[in-house]
Amino acid sequence: MEVKELFERAIEDSKTLSEKPSNETLLNLYSLYKQSTEGDINGNAPAMFDFVAKAKYESWSSLKGKTQEAAMQEYINLVEKLKA
């Protein structure tokens, strides 16, 4: 099965996890998803008092340069770990 197909399945699996992941893990899932689907982040950082948006921006920004396929594989691996 191709990485793209496994990634699509992992997205669906992430919606039906038995336990809600920690905020840190959710942030990691978010940034890996964004890097997988959109590539490197662009645009300006959000206002410094918008803590949630800033955390998301910084998390995604930390993946700059990672290929979309590599991000998909990391997302798949993380979801598999959460399912176990």
Instruction: Indicate the domain borders of the chain.
Output: 3-83
pLDDT higher than threshold 90 for residue 1: no
What percent of the chain is predicted at pLDDT more than 70?
100
pLDDT higher than threshold 90 for residue 59: yes
Query: Is the pTM above the cut of 0.85?
Result: yes
Architecture of the domain spanning 3-83: Up-down Bundle (1.20)
**Average pLDDT of span 60-80:** 97
**Average pLDDT of span 18-39:** 96
Burial of 31 (0-12, 13-18, 19+ CB in 10 A): buried
**Average pLDDT of span 50-78:** 96
**Res. 48 pLDDT band, cuts 50 70 90:** confident
